A = this chain, B = another copy of it.
Amino acid sequence: MPTYQAPLRDFQFILDEMLNIYEQQHLEGFEQVDADLVDAIFQGMADFATKIMLPLNSSGDAQGCKIEDGQVTTPQGFQQAYKQFVEDGWATLTCDPEYGGQGLPEVVGTFVTEIQAATNMAFAMYPGLTHGAYSAIHAHGSAKLKRKYLPKLVSGEWTGTMNLTESHAGTDLALLRTKAEPCGEDVFAISGEKIFISSGDHDLAENIIHLVLARLPGAPSGVKGISLFAVPKFWVNEDGSLGENTGVQASALEHKMGIHGNSTCVMVFDGAKGELVGEAHQGLRAMFTMMNQARLGVGMQGLAQSDISYQNALAYAQDRLQGRALSGVQQPKLVADPILVHGDVRRMLLAQKSFNEGARALVGQQALWIDQAERHQDKALRQQASLLAALFTPVVKGFITDQGFKACVDAQQVFGGHGYVHEWGMEQFVRDARIAMIYEGTNGVQALDLVGRKIMGDQGAALMTWAEQAKQFIEESRTEPQMEKYSQTLIKNLGDLEKATQYLAKHAPSKPDVLGSASMAYMQLLGITSLTLMWARMAKLALRALASQTQEHDFYQSKLKTADFYMSYWAIQTRGLVVQIESSAEQICEYDAALF
């Protein structure tokens, strides 16, 4: 059975030492945030997650959800755990105090969700989707809708879902067919079938609020004719009491590779009663405004699964005795050396560790940008943060879930044959982590969003803004000779990024398809380069701490050595990615479809 230690010290390092969040008093909502409060929240979540959520991860996977007469039941223990989750107020953290939330910033909330997604990703998706529905109604709903739905979504007494996909319309929402017909004052009858609906139906809450994309009569075709509706499972009367089922039902559970504890449903809307959220035909735009946050959440799943995989692989490598070190016996009293002595085991573990800690720093930075974009008093800084958050949204989602999955596969590999059987839990991490590369926009879609909208769409303005920050960091580090090597690596990475960007700028006008064929390598390039900056920043902090204090020597020494490993293993990969783009992107577009 896997174990888990929430990386609380790393959270402190990122929030306090790297991002200085307790000095961001100019951010609305940060006033009452202090280190004691935040540490207590993390500790509380860590306790809850390791005691309640983690033990249900494997059993939830084995049992899965069941459906009978359109009513879904979750695995044993989920009901009780969810009840406790709600009672302890875990659903409310980052929500608006006006509706019962605690108003905490995203940068705190994001690490709370890391703990949840690490210990039980399938379970964490119930509050996760609820938060998405909360955000949609909060951002776009009328005052009436907000009063009706938000308090119970904030508390977690009701849960939420996002109903976008139809069997013929996944990535391409322009094709969706679900209809909405007016059927009374501000009420619409929704008809259609949606697939892959996470937390679609279950037995955890007394009501479920489905956010549904559908077309109004006479709506323009394509994405400009899509509206967003709130369709509750049970109608909510004026007095707050629950009425009848509105006409929505789960018709089946999807049979999935993983996340078995989450009830992924086929949902049938049979003239189901719902209300419009926001303006007619503006549904897709409404969904898009929540995308940064939702994709951050999925990127976090990739990191979370990678981290719990790493923790268990490391423990196994320290414990499992097989063979001897090539350099000679390390543990003569034991029948064999622990497999941590073997070079390829170390390589896999260091690749995971350096990726995880770098990605965690990037995720923290991204969450802070999202907070700043919403809450910063300075409009110019707000706009800049918004630009950077938009730029890094596909990187956080696509790059982190891709590499996070690979890390889970490597961690499984450390276990040898034991990694392939359920008992040790490692193969579940691989199966669960796999979905994060697919949902909330496949990683191919992320890569295309990056090169298309985020890079070419603004002629590289956002990228230049970010690169300027990196260059400023290099400039500020000149006085510290030990920083020279990190700065040099960062300069090389930025140079490679520039080359790749120039390649796109040069070829895209005449051959737009090049953008697609270069997109994945480009996303990796920006991902690796951004982690190089994160590691350079962390190395700088570690160097200072090691020079000025004697406490926690191992923590800072580990940071410094892991930064060095990152530079020598990950950062060197940018050159190859540029070469790949330059040598293969055109060929990929031009390959004759008949010759596949």
Pick from B405, B519, B558, B565: contact of A344, CB below 8 A.
B519
Query: Interface code A186-206, partner B: CB below 8 Å = 1, 0 otherwise?
Result: 000000000110000000000
* Contact partner, A257, options B427, B515, B589, Cβ 8 Å: B427
Would you call A565 and B589 a contact (CB within 8 A)? no
Select which of B350, B422, B434, B565 is within 8 A of A255 by beta carbon: B422
Residues of chain B within 8 A of A520, CB atoms compared: 344, 347
Nearest B residue to A561 via CB reads B595
- Name A596's contact: one of B314, B447, B576, B584 (CB within 8 Å): B314
Q: Which residues of B contact A596 (CB under 8 A)?
A: 314, 318, 340, 349-350, 353, 558
Question: Once the chains are docked, how many angstroms separate the CA of A321 from the CA of B327?
Answer: 57
A350: chain B residues within 8 A (beta carbon): 588, 591, 596
| Chain B nearest Cβ from A141, distance in angstroms | 27
Copies of this chain in the oligomer: 2
Q: How far is the CB of A580 from chain B (nearest CB, A)?
A: 6
Asked whether A575 lies within 8 Å of B579 as measured between CB atoms, the reply is yes
**Per-position contact with B for A244-287: 1 when CB-CB < 8 Å, else 0?**
00000000001111100000000000000000000000000000
A142 shortest CB reach to chain B, Å: 32
* A516 x B344 contact (CB < 8 A): yes
Q: Are B326 and A512 in contact (CB under 8 A)?
A: yes
Contacts of A585 in B (CB 8 A): 343
Residues of B within 8 A of A543 (CB): none
**Per-residue interface assignment for chain A, residues 374 to 414, with 1 indicating a CB less than 8 Å from any chain B CB and 0 otherwise:** 00000000000000000000000000000001000100110
Which of under 10, 10 to 19, 20 to 34, or 35 or more describes the interface residues of A?
35 or more
Query: For residue A437, which residues in chain B have a CB less than 8 angstroms away from its CB?
Result: 413
Q: Is the CB of A572 within 8 A of B576?
A: yes
A344 to B517, CA, bound (A): 5
Residues of B within 8 A of A558 (CB): 595-596
Can you add 5 more A-B contacts, CB < 8 Å, to A255-B421, A344-B517? A257-B431, A326-B512, A344-B444, A557-B592, A568-B584
Q: 8 A-B residue contacts at CB 8 Å?
A: A171-B416, A175-B336, A318-B593, A343-B516, A343-B585, A344-B448, A565-B584, A568-B583
**A-side interface residues toward B, CB under 8 Å?**
165, 168-172, 174-175, 195-196, 254-258, 314, 318, 321-323, 325-328, 335-336, 340-350, 353, 405, 409, 412-413, 416-423, 427, 430-431, 434-435, 437-439, 442-444, 447-448, 452, 511-520, 554, 557-558, 561-562, 564-565, 568-569, 572-573, 575-576, 579-580, 583-585, 587-589, 591-596
